[in-house]
Amino acid sequence: MLIVQKYGGTSMGGCERIENVAQRVIQALDHHKCGLVVVVSAMSGQTDTLLEYAHFFSSLPNTREVDMLLSSGERVSSALLAIALESKGIKAISLSGRGAGIITENTHTKARIKYIDTNHIQKLLQEGYVVVVAGFQGISEEGEVTTLGRGGSDLSAVALAGALHADLCEIYTDVDGIYTTDPRIESKAKKIDKISYDEMLELASMGAKVLLNRSVELAKKLKVKLVSRSSFSASEGTLITDEEDIMEKPIVSGVALDKNQARVSIADVLDRPGIAAEIFSTLAEANINVDMIVQTIGRDGKTDIDFTIPQTEVELAKKVLECFKNDVQSIEYDCDIAKVSIVGVGMKSHSGVASIAFKAMAKENINIMMIATSEIKISMIVNIKYAELAVRTLHDVYALDK
């Protein structure tokens, strides 16, 4: 039997906490008598601190150097956990992304994993080691250190679980599992025992950072048995599983909030075929993720295009969209927005879910600036000052605390 465990930044945030993780690892060894691969994040706040250092020198630092810098955080925490385990008589060894054979594309700051060469890890497991892997990082075939994007250790864990055919992938964090919304925003949020991959994917993509969306997507694809649980309690956590395994399907399962989006408003774009393609290909080439897109009806040969991008990519977007300045009247960037989303597989078969949301928002006088929907999700952009109120209002109107 093989288990992959992942411990996030808060769980690794300091020597006492790393000591606690070491105890958990020993418990798992005693309990399951299994092989164990432990993926770790950098100590909490470390990645942000390193990024701040880089931004002291430049608003757009060289991404290769950013990856060299950020990958150090996970190397520190993985080595410390291996030292902690060894001090307790456990045979443990830490590996960087390169050591773990995590081969990625040769792009920086959000590289995709191409494959994992598991030979080295397999050999170490056979020799009886607990293998501690620095999360969030890999190596390109060109030998460049890469990182997988913020929150990427979740992806490292799922990818390793898939490649090693692990029996279970446990993501340890600072809450007891997946809740109906962020329990830090709504204290009435309830823990969910089981949630489908698709709902979890939407919640994660819409801002519930408890799991990285790409890790959920990969878990579904590779059929990895995924559990989210706390490293600070004995709670059972939440199982992320196939929709068929869930008997009671609520219409709305959860509410997600993303405060890291920015709205880009391009006014008076020449309304001609190909212009949207040009703008969005430019953004795609720069690897900027565009989310909601709204184009107004053209008038006098001109149209307005609004869309959202991650706030962290605003500087880059400004740079690459510069070339359109003569084709449009203005390009504005608004970071004072938030995206609130409701997610639930039950929406597929129930009507009227959206109107309940819109009425509830209106009752609280919250203006909705943009709306986007999918089969199992409704997202709304609101002013950031109403973000938490919007979350609590929606949580309440769908009685998610019941």
Question: Does the annotation flag 9 for ligand binding?
Answer: yes
3-class SS at 220? helix
Residue of 17, 108, 110, 209 interacting with ligand ADP (CB under 6 A): 209
Burial class of residue 151, CB neighbours in 10 A (0-12, 13-18, 19+): buried
Q: Is 228 one of the binding residues for ligand ASP (CB under 6 A)?
A: no
For residues 292 and 283, give the distance between their C-alpha atoms in angstroms, rounded to a whole number. Answer: 14
Closer CB to ligand ADP, 22 or 316, in the complex: 22
Q: Which residues contact 228 (CB under 8 A, 6 or more apart)?
A: 171, 173, 177, 178, 210, 211, 237, 238, 240
237 sits near ligand ADP (criterion: CB under 6 A): no
Q: Which of 41, 94 has the CB closer to ligand ASP?
A: 41
Mark the segment that binds ligand ADP (CB under 6 A) among 102-110, 177-185, 300-308, 346-354. 177-185
Q: How far is the CA of 241 from the CAs of 32, 126, 223, in angstroms? A: 22, 29, 9
Question: Can residue 105 be called a binding residue for ligand ADP (CB under 6 A)?
Answer: no
CB of 8 to ligand ADP, least distance (A): 2
* Helix or strand (DSSP H, E) at 309: strand 302-310
Q: Which is nearer to Mg ion, 171 or 382 (CB)?
A: 171
Identify which of 233, 216, 259, 262 has the alpha carbon closest to the alpha carbon of residue 172: 233
Nearer to ligand ADP, 138 or 151 (CB): 151
Helix (H) / strand (E) element for 24: namely helix 15-32
Closest separation between CB of residue 341 and ligand ADP, Å?
11
| CB-CB contact of 7 with 172 (8 Å) | yes
Backbone angles phi, psi at 189, to 5 degrees: -60, 145
Q: Using CB distances below 5 to 8 A depending on partner kind, what does residue 181 bind out of ligand ADP, ligand ASP, Mg ion, none?
A: ligand ADP
| DSSP string covering 62-116 | -HHHHHHHHHHHHHHHHHHHHHHHHHTT--EEEE-TTTTTEEE-S-SSSPPEEEE
CA dist 315 and 147 (Å) reads 20
Residue 98 interacts with ligand ASP (CB under 6 A)? no
* Complex with ligand ADP: residue 8 or 97, whichever CB lies closer: 8
Residue 209 within binding range of ligand ASP, rule CB under 6 A: no
User: Is 53 a known ligand-binding residue?
Assistant: no
- Among 10, 153, 241, 341, indicate the residue that binds ligand ASP (CB under 6 A): 153
Given the rule CB under 6 A, which of 65-73, 126-134, 172-180, 304-312 is the region that contacts ligand ADP? 172-180
113-172 residues in contact with Mg ion (CB under 5 A) are 151
Binding status of residue 310 toward ligand ASP by CB under 6 A: no
**Residues 250 and 346 sit within 8 Å (Cβ to Cβ):** yes
- Residue pair 174/45 in contact (Cβ under 8 Å)? The answer is no
Q: Which residue has the tokens 């609004």?
A: 306
Tell me which residue has tokens 């209106």. Answer: 362
Tokens standing for residue 75: 């190397």
From 41, 109, 303, 341, residue interacting with ligand ASP (rule: CB under 6 A): 41
User: Which residue among 86, 174, 291, 388 contacts ligand ADP (CB under 6 A)?
Assistant: 174
Letters for 43-62 (x = contact with ligand ASP by CB under 6 A, - = none) are ----x---------------
- Given the complex with ligand ASP, which of 158 and 283 has the nearer CB atom? 158
Q: How far is the CB of 195 from ligand ADP (least distance, A)?
A: 9
Please tell me whether residue 73 binds Mg ion under the rule CB under 5 A: no
Kindly state the number of chain residues that form the binding site for ligand ASP, as judged by CB under 6 A. 13
Adjacent-strand bridge partners of 146: 138
**Bridge partners for 170 per DSSP:** 5, 227
Instruction: Decide if residue 97 touches ligand ASP (CB under 6 A).
Output: no
List residues binding Mg ion (CB under 5 A): 8, 151
List residues binding ligand ADP (CB under 6 A): 8-11, 41, 151, 173-175, 178-179, 181-184, 203, 208-210, 254
List residues binding ligand ASP (CB under 6 A): 8-9, 41-42, 47, 73, 135-136, 150-154
